[in-house]
Amino acid sequence: MQLYSQKNIYYGWIIVGVVFLSTVASAIQLNPTIGVFVTPITAEFGWSRSELAGAVTIGTIFGGILAILTGRIVDKFGPRWVLFSGFLILGSLLIGLGNIQNLFHFYIITVISRMVLQGVINITCQTIVTKWFIRLRGRAVAIATVGERVGNGIVPFLTQIIIITQGWRTASWVIGIMAWTITLGPTALWLRRSPQDMNLLPDGDSKPAQIKSKFEYSLSDAFKTKSFYLLGAAFSVASFIDTGINFSLNPYLIDQSLSEKNSVTVIAIWAFSGIAGSLIAGILAEHFKNQIIVLCCYIGLAMGILLLISVNSLPSGVAFGVTHGAFFGAAVLMQHVILAQYFGTNSIATIRGAIAPWQMAGNAFGPLAASIVFDATGSYIAIFRTYLALLVLIIIAISLSSPPSKN
């Protein structure tokens, strides 16, 4: 085989760079950014937080269904035009959001945006890099997915500044154009399906690496394993918790007497702490049992929620942001890594697509449940305590999910 890595940099690292930019751009429709729009939109139109969260819920549910098809398409045809089309549509919709005049307009744009994000963009970004790396998979996936943490740190902060100075409509236009600018060129020019398509080997090696996992699992093979269901259930419940917190974080911090500036500062610290968490977890994943690392992540997230409940000032907000942000970044990364380790990469997008409807259901109802609790009680504390109880169940499920083996 003639290896691109012998001539220049291994092409897998170019793939990592493209996915990094894509995950940065995906932050325009992630819950921390949506949360920044909640206060000005509800103030202008008089809508409840539950009404806004309902659009996110519906779009995310349909995105989970769409992910089943997207996963199969990416495994068969590659990610290039799938991701390009996703960002072309998403940027257009964010620009359109700045022109809405009623709740119907908001629902149409938000539902389709969430479908595209969860059902096309996220499922594609989550699976591309794992095909290009085996030995260095942990750090490669960490670098690629760190883009989401960077986006969650920069985009809500930038959006809040534009909202304060120019209004939320201008902010929506700006972030839509930003997504186009940093994704359309790289995805069209440089994305490829797998190293084999370019006569390369994973990691840029000159000979096949000796790896611990001897088996590649098809979707039907994965269905026969206990770990598929345990991990799928754990990650679905985790999505319910994560999206509820992410969607509610900015309004909650403001409710806790933090200024708008201090609130987005905490969110930025939370997001950038996730960079360190992701990178550390990625390195550890190459040397230690992935199951143990995942367990530590969710124990750390429980600690973070305890700190969130006690936030009442900028210093306590920073303590939450550093702790929860680091473990959140690590947990998101490890979901990608452990599934590839357990089931291989040949059908990883299809397997992720099979889990996606359940994970997206959790993703969908997280913001809605948090908003309903807030509208009913005037506080998020009850739902945060519920998250702590659910994390105990997640930890139990992960403890029982050992690497599968074929007989």
Q: What percent of the chain has pLDDT over 70?
A: 95
Query: What single string gives the DSSP state of each residue in 48-77?
Result: -HHHHHHHHHHHHHHHHHHHHHHHHHHHHH
Contact criterion met (CB below 8 Å) for 300 and 330: yes
pLDDT of residue 153: 79
Rounded distance between C-alpha atoms, residue 48 and residue 59, angstroms: 18
Secondary structure letter of residue 287 according to DSSP: T
Which residues contact residue 329 at a Cβ distance below 8 angstroms, ignoring those fewer than 6 apart? 145, 146, 149, 273, 274, 275, 276, 277, 278, 281
The stretch 351-371 carries a mean pLDDT of 86
Residue 197 burial (CB < 10 Å; 0-12/13-18/19+)? Answer: exposed
Domain 4-194+214-400 sits in CATH 3.40.50.300: no
- The region, left, alpha or beta by phi > 0 then psi within -120 to 50, assigned to residue 257 is left
pLDDT of residue 56: 85
> Cα(349)–Cα(340) distance, rounded to whole angstroms?
10
Residues 153-164: tens digit of each pLDDT: 789 889 989 999
pLDDT, residue 9, reads: 85
Of 169-173, 200-204, 237-241, 272-276, the one with minimum mean pLDDT is 200-204
pLDDT of residue 210: 54
Sign for the pseudo-dihedral over CA of 125, 131, 137, 139? negative
Mean pLDDT of 204-213: 61
**Helical spans, DSSP H, in 204-313:** 219-223, 226-255, 260-285, 290-309
Above 80 in pLDDT, residue 302?
yes
Can you give the pTM of this predicted structure? 0.75
Report residue 209's pLDDT band, with 50, 70 and 90 as the boundaries: low
Does 132 score more than 50 pLDDT? yes
- The reported pLDDT for the residue numbered 3 is 42
pLDDT greater than 70 at residue 1 = no
**Residues 28-43: what's their mean pLDDT?**
84
Quote the pLDDT of residue 295.
96
Domain ranges in the chain?
Answer: 4-194+214-400
Q: Indicate whether 305 pLDDT > 90.
A: yes
Distances (CA, A) of 372 to 40, 230, 377: 19, 28, 9
pLDDT tens digits for range 235-271 = 999 999 998 998 889 889 999 889 888 998 998 899 8
Lowest model confidence (mean pLDDT) among 87-101, 197-211, 340-354, 380-394? 197-211
Residue 77: exposure state from Cβ atoms within 10 A (0-12, 13-18, ≥19): exposed
pLDDT at residue 4 is higher than 70: no
Of 221-230, 289-298, 360-369, 396-405, which range is least confident? 360-369
Whether 200 shows a pLDDT value over 90: the answer reads: no
Which carries the bigger pLDDT value, residue 231 or residue 136?
231
Ranking 25-39, 54-68, 176-190, 386-400 by mean pLDDT, the lowest is 25-39
Query: Which of the four pLDDT bands, split at 50, 70 and 90, describes residue 217?
Result: confident
- Look at 52 and 346; give whichever has higher pLDDT: 52
346 exposure class (CB count in 10 Å sphere: 0-12, 13-18, 19+)? middle
Rg (the chain; Cα; Å): 20
137-167 burial code (b ≥16 CB/10 A, e <16): bbbbbbbbbbbbbbbbbbbbbbbbebbeeee
